């Protein structure tokens, strides 16, 4: 069966996006001009062609030099090869440093150099990642720089599927990217065990963004999965839903219909995958000290260099090294929780005392510094000043939508809920609406339907 992605109701999704933007503007004021071009492309084409056509914009200038940073290549090397003098390179690097430090360039970054008819460097572009770049304008009077976003096109899509064996099999049956399945797992991970809770006949529906980069390193990759706007997973007759909305910290998060966060305050583990090599114990034989002593954490055996995540939003208290702990990070979280990450090989980028981190952010990498016989992470949790077993801890949910923002949330949520209920659930043999007779093409409203009434 072909792809199931379809453009959904322009009026419904446009209302949700407008409501969300109104809430954000009311809270933060008008947003600054953005360099990226983002279009929802939700409205149908006009019935009549415009009476007057505007002339096409002039073609973008072609760079005189393009390239990719190679190993052991410095900014100085690239600029002198482009015709800059050593003094000019120094002046450019110094002027741009508040925006971007060219000493930090790394292999794989793409760059473009534009020159005047006389051969003088006028403009430089360096990619920072898949979506951002730094632009440098070189003029006689001044050298200016700014970070910009590559232009992209964003379209709202819908998809659905019925479980035949697994979520990922259902996704691939619909010829959708596996990344969409990963996003659904991440969103519902705290409420659904995707290994044991899934049954044949369960179904899912999702509204998501599809992003196509129009310039930059990712332009050749075509359409990519963007943010999931709303999602539903129905397992064993119970529907769980998620709606994307900005949390109190100003970051996008997922909430159910009542505004309750789908995240717990702390992740169960700070690694994507690892083997527990030593559990929490009040009396364990220490392999280095050769004596029995409390082991107040969980040891996760993993290869050196494996990313270690902060298990919750918080503020970094300590980034240090001791003889026993090796390289370690200590983070304070809400509700009097403190997490510890020991024996790291190195620290994550930008991780230092006082920095705020998000749940899932990389704060270091597995190593074997300090008292360690092999590469592993010693993960510990303190609650109320006492170490507790991270594996048996009853974790509170993350903060819900605030009372001040509940009206905005309900407006967005209700509009998306209506849109999601209209998505037909699809399988490889046909399509039908969830709960209705196959092929009937009607939305069920009989008792027992899993679709809730509109929010009030």
Does residue 310 sit within a domain? yes
**How distant, in Å, are the alpha carbons of 91, 135, 233, 337 from that of 88?**
5, 16, 58, 52
Taking Cα atoms as reference points, which of 372, 110, 413 lies closest to residue 260? Answer: 413
The total of other beta-carbon atoms located within 10 Å of residue 288's CB is 10
Same domain for 91 and 130, yes or no, is: yes
**How far is Cα 201 from Cα 162, in angstroms, rounded to an integer?**
6
Q: In the chain, how many domains are there?
A: 3
Helix axes 406-421, 10-28, angle to 10 degrees: 160
Taking Cα atoms as reference points, which of 379, 390, 383, 341 lies closest to residue 363? Answer: 341
Among 88, 120, 149, the domain boundary falls at 149
Taking Cα atoms as reference points, which of 56, 52, 96, 60 lies closest to residue 75? Answer: 96
The reported pLDDT for the residue numbered 29 is 43
Same domain for 281 and 371, yes or no, is: yes
**How far is Cα 228 from Cα 115, in angstroms, rounded to an integer?**
42
More confident position, 446 or 426: 426
Enclosing domain of residue 171 = 8-36+152-263+406-456
CB 444 within 8 A of CB 435: yes
Q: What is the CATH number of the domain that holds 291?
A: 2.70.70.10
The reported pLDDT for the residue numbered 393 is 77
Show Cβ contacts of residue 32 under 8 Å, excluding neighbours closer than 6 positions. Answer: none
The reported pLDDT for the residue numbered 250 is 77
The reported pLDDT for the residue numbered 211 is 87
**How far is Cα 451 from Cα 406, in angstroms, rounded to an integer?**
21
Among 335, 360, 388, the domain boundary falls at 388
Same domain for 209 and 194, yes or no, is: yes
Same domain for 167 and 250, yes or no, is: yes
Cross-strand partners of 281? 295
CB 265 within 8 A of CB 396: yes
pLDDT at 230 over 70: yes
Does residue 92 sit within a domain? yes
pLDDT band at 5 (very low <50, low <70, confident <90, very high): very low
Same domain for 417 and 454, yes or no, is: yes
Does residue 268 sit within a domain? no
**How far is Cα 307 from Cα 391, in angstroms, rounded to an integer?**
20
- Percent of the chain exceeding pLDDT 70 equals 74
- pLDDT (tens digit per residue) in 42-70: 333 344 444 455 555 555 678 899 999 99
CB 217 within 8 A of CB 158: no
Q: What is the CATH number of the domain that holds 133?
A: 3.10.450.350
pLDDT at 363 over 80: yes
Q: Cα–Cα–Cα angle for 281, 382, 377, nearest 5°?
A: 60
**How far is Cα 229 from Cα 155, in angstroms, rounded to an integer?**
12
Which range, of 252-266, 325-339, 381-395, 439-453, averages the lowest pLDDT?
Answer: 439-453
Eight-class DSSP state of 231: E
Mean pLDDT of the chain: 78
Same domain for 237 and 364, yes or no, is: no
CA 293 to chain centre: 40
The reported pLDDT for the residue numbered 366 is 93
- pLDDT (tens digit per residue) in 273-304: 556 766 555 555 556 555 666 677 888 888 89
Does residue 193 sit within a domain? yes
Counts for the chain of helices (H) and strands (E), in that order: 6, 24
Q: Cα–Cα–Cα angle for 73, 74, 77, nearest 5°?
A: 90
The reported pLDDT for the residue numbered 321 is 92
Does residue 120 sit within a domain? yes
Among 360, 388, 416, the domain boundary falls at 388
pTM of the model: 0.58
Eight-class DSSP state of 315: E
CB 339 within 8 A of CB 311: yes
**How far is Cα 367 from Cα 304, in angstroms, rounded to an integer?**
5
């Amino acid at each position: 069966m072909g792809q199931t992605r379809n453009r959904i109701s322009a009026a419904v999704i446009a209302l949700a996006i407008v409501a969300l933007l109104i809430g954000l503007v009311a809270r933060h004021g008008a947003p600054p001009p953005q360099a990226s071009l983002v279009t929802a492309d939700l409205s149908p084409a006009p019935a009549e062609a415009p009476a007057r056509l505007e002339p096409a914009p002039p073609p973008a200038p072609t760079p005189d030099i393009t390239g990719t940073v190679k190993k052991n290549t410095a900014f100085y090397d690239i600029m002198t090869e482009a015709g800059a003098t050593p003094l000019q390179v120094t002046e450019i690097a110094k002027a741009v440093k508040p925006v971007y430090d060219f000493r930090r360039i790394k292999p794989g970054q793409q760059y473009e150099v534009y020159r005047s008819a006389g051969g003088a460097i006028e403009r430089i572009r360096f990619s920072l990642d898949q979506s951002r770049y730094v632009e440098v304008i070189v003029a006689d009077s001044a050298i200016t720089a700014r970070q910009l976003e590559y232009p992209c096109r964003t379209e709202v899509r819908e998809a659905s599927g019925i479980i035949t064996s697994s979520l990922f099999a259902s996704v691939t049956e619909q010829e959708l990217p596996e990344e969409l399945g990963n996003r659904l797992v991440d969103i519902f991970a705290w409420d659904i065990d995707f290994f044991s809770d899934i049954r044949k006949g369960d179904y899912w529906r999702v509204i998501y963004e599809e992003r196509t980069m129009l310039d930059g390193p990712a332009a050749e990759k075509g359409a990519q999965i963007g943010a999931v706007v709303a999602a539903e997973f129905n397992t064993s007759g119970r529907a769980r839903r998620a709606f994307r909305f900005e949390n109190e910290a100003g970051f996008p998060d997922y909430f159910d219909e009542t505004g309750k966060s789908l995240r717990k305050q702390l992740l169960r583990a700070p690694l994507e995958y690892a083997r527990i090599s030593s559990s929490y114990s009040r009396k364990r034989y220490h392999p280095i000290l050769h004596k029995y002593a409390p082991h107040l954490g969980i040891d996760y055996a993993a290869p050196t260099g494996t990313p270690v995540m902060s298990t919750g939003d918080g503020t970094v208290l300590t980034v240090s090294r001791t003889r026993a702990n090796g390289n370690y990070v200590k983070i304070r979280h809400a509700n009097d929780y403190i997490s510890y990450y020991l024996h790291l090989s190195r620290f994550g980028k930008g991780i230092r005392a006082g920095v705020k981190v998000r749940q899932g952010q990389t704060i270091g990498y597995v190593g074997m510094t300090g008292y360690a016989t092999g590469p592993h992470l010693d993960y510990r949790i303190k609650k109320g000043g006492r170490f507790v077993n991270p594996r048996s801890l009853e974790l509170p949910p993350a903060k819900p939508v605030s009372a001040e923002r509940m009206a905005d949330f309900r407006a967005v949520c209700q509009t998306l809920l209506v849109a999601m209920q209209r998505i037909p659930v699809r399988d490889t043999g046909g399509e039908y609406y969830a709960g209705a007779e196959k092929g009937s093409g009607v939305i069920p409203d009989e008792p027992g339907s899993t679709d809730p009434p509109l929010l009030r």
